[in-house]
Amino acid sequence: MKINKEWHEKNKMPKNATFEQRAKWHMEHVKHCECRPVPEKLLAEMKEKHIKVE
Protein backbone atom coordinates (compact mmCIF):
# COMPACT_ATOMS: atom_id res chain seq x y z
CA MET A 1 0.00 0.00 0.00
CA LYS A 2 1.45 3.29 -1.14
CA ILE A 3 1.07 6.48 0.89
CA ASN A 4 0.78 9.92 -0.68
CA LYS A 5 2.64 11.85 2.01
CA GLU A 6 2.15 15.22 0.28
CA TRP A 7 -1.64 14.77 0.14
CA HIS A 8 -1.78 13.72 3.81
CA GLU A 9 0.24 16.75 4.89
CA LYS A 10 -2.14 19.11 3.06
CA ASN A 11 -5.36 17.31 4.04
CA LYS A 12 -5.57 16.60 7.75
CA MET A 13 -8.67 14.97 9.17
CA PRO A 14 -10.43 17.59 11.33
CA LYS A 15 -10.25 17.00 15.07
CA ASN A 16 -13.54 15.55 16.38
CA ALA A 17 -14.77 15.28 12.78
CA THR A 18 -18.49 14.92 12.11
CA PHE A 19 -19.82 12.05 9.99
CA GLU A 20 -20.04 14.37 6.99
CA GLN A 21 -16.44 15.57 7.43
CA ARG A 22 -15.17 12.01 7.82
CA ALA A 23 -17.09 10.79 4.77
CA LYS A 24 -15.84 13.69 2.64
CA TRP A 25 -12.23 13.23 3.81
CA HIS A 26 -12.29 9.49 3.06
CA MET A 27 -13.86 9.98 -0.38
CA GLU A 28 -11.01 12.36 -1.28
CA HIS A 29 -8.48 10.07 0.35
CA VAL A 30 -9.50 7.15 -1.89
CA LYS A 31 -8.85 9.34 -4.95
CA HIS A 32 -5.38 10.48 -3.86
CA CYS A 33 -3.81 7.82 -1.66
CA GLU A 34 -3.60 4.03 -1.43
CA CYS A 35 -2.37 3.72 2.16
CA ARG A 36 -5.56 2.21 3.58
CA PRO A 37 -9.19 1.51 2.73
CA VAL A 38 -12.20 3.36 4.13
CA PRO A 39 -13.00 1.88 7.59
CA GLU A 40 -15.74 -0.77 7.46
CA LYS A 41 -17.89 0.98 10.07
CA LEU A 42 -17.82 4.24 8.09
CA LEU A 43 -18.52 2.38 4.83
CA ALA A 44 -21.59 0.78 6.40
CA GLU A 45 -22.85 4.14 7.66
CA MET A 46 -22.23 5.73 4.25
CA LYS A 47 -24.10 2.89 2.56
CA GLU A 48 -27.08 3.41 4.91
CA LYS A 49 -27.14 7.08 3.89
CA HIS A 50 -26.74 6.21 0.18
CA ILE A 51 -23.31 7.84 -0.12
CA LYS A 52 -21.15 6.15 -2.74
CA VAL A 53 -17.38 5.88 -2.35
CA GLU A 54 -15.63 6.08 -5.68
**Per-residue model confidence as pLDDT tens digits over 4-25:** 999 999 999 999 999 999 999 9
The pTM score is 0.87
How many domains does the chain fold into? 1
Q: Is residue 15 part of a domain?
A: no
* 26, 11 contact by CB (below 8 A): no
What was the pLDDT predicted at 51?
A: 87
What is the structure's pLDDT at 24?
95
Asked whether residue 43 is domain-assigned, the answer is yes
Q: What is the DSSP letter of 39?
A: P
Taking a C-beta distance cutoff of 8 angstroms, is the pair 2, 34 a contact?
yes
Per-residue model confidence (pLDDT) at position 53: 75
Instruction: Report the distance separating Cα 15 and Cα 4, nearest Å.
Output: 20
Q: Which domain holds residue 52?
A: 1-9+21-54
DSSP annotation of 15: T
Kindly indicate the confidence band of residue 1, based on its pLDDT and cuts at 50, 70 and 90.
confident
- How confident is the model at residue 21, as a pLDDT? 96
Q: Is residue 29 part of a domain?
A: yes
Classify residue 16: in a domain, yes or no: no
Is 28 among the domain residues?
A: yes
